[in-house]
Amino acid sequence: MPLAKKLLQLPLQAALNVALAFTLTITLTTTLAGPARAQAAPAEAAAALPAVPPRDPAPGDLAQWRRLVLPNGIKAMLLSDPKLNVSSASRAVGVGSLADPPARQGLAHFLEHMLFLGTEKYPDITGFDAYLRRNSGFNNAYTAEDRTNFHFEIRHAAFEGALDRFAQFFIAPLFDARYTEREMNAVASEHQKNLENDLWREQQVQVQAYAVGHPARHFGTGSKTTLAGVTRDELLAFYRSEYSAGRMTLALTGNASLDQLEHWARQYFAAVPDRALPALVYPSDYLPHKAALRMLRMEPIKDLRQLSLQFPLPGLYGGWPNKSAELLGYLFGSEGPGSLLAQLKAEGLAPASAPAPSRPRGNTARWSCRSA
């Protein structure tokens, strides 16, 4: 395999010897495929869903699923299973920290926090959380580079009421300025926690090697410094310019029938505004090509000896049926006879067990693996 031959030609012996003395991050520039650019597709043109392989249910599996696109462009996946103990929902928005304005790092993360603080229909800022607690539920959210995810679970009988409240966050959020300082403190607290986390520290060191001006060279968490002075108008402007039904996907699971789940999806989420925004696409060349390895050294908080290799890739979302990420993971992670990992172990260059490599993220894709 051409890729395997390229990998085996890398100076791993020297690099791993260095890694025994200190934590090391090496970023490799490689050309695994030609540059890929996703085509922007308005929500109204997204009615056709990509084909998926036929499902082969296991014995006793009673689950049924259905996919649909709402009139406003939201792509929905429904799963009905009478064996489920709880109902749940997840909303993914194709906007993450890469969309932060250069002068307002962490704004997408801050928006994630502010979105839960009341809506025009349900103005109580604690109303959603209280409803979930009364019904044995919980919720959470996270901001990644290319997406933001909001999700919850709850007992079946209270699912419809939770969906009504949940949908309103994407229809008419209040963004009450009285709670700006409180949520800014929450974001700042997350940042302070990450300062002593070697994984977060490594990620922030890596971005210093990225191209100046590329969105990937960013600080996604945010802090009191980067968010100082943010106003409700600024937050609302970012929300309206980035959040749109056509950039959203919805997943509903429960013991209700597929027809009932579809009815709720249409009833409560059809009012999410479609602002006809195209999908966000970022250049794949976030790491300028060089003929040599880039080597970054980081002093860890913990007593670690670790090597991390990172490969820039073209976006892989468009070719997801080919399982390119999984094939790369197998190439690096397989421990069978003749594998790369088996050879490294035989030469004493890899630990007894290697962690699974991470998968590419977004259309500015990266694939990385680490050895401790």
Taking the alpha carbons of 324, 329, 331, 332 in that order, is the dihedral positive or negative? positive
Domain extent listing, the chain: 2-38+283-371, 43-49+61-269
By CB atoms closer than 10 A (0-12, 13-18, 19+), residue 82 is: exposed
Q: How many CB atoms lie within 10 A of CB 324?
A: 19
- Position 365 confidence tier, pLDDT thresholds 50, 70, 90: low
Task: Report the run of H or E that residue 230 belongs to, with start and end.
Answer: none
Give yes or no for residue 356 having a pLDDT over 70: no
112 as an active site residue: the answer is yes
**pLDDT score for 33:** 32
- Position 31 confidence tier, pLDDT thresholds 50, 70, 90: very low
Q: Which residue is catalytic, options 44, 112, 160, 347?
A: 112
- Position 43 confidence tier, pLDDT thresholds 50, 70, 90: very low
- Position 39 confidence tier, pLDDT thresholds 50, 70, 90: very low
Q: Which residues neighbour 5 within 8 Å (Cβ) at sequence distance 6 or greater?
A: none
- Give the phi and the psi of residue 121 in degrees, each rounded to 5: -80, -35
**pLDDT score for 12:** 37
> May I ask the CATH architecture of the domain 43-49+61-269?
2-Layer Sandwich (3.30)
List alpha helices for the chain, DSSP H: 2-8, 12-19, 107-114, 127-134, 159-168, 180-194, 198-206, 232-242, 258-269, 324-333, 340-346
**pLDDT score for 41:** 34
Tell me what the mean pLDDT of segment 32-60 comes to.
55
Q: Which of 312, 358, 314, 313 is nearest to 332 (CA)?
A: 358
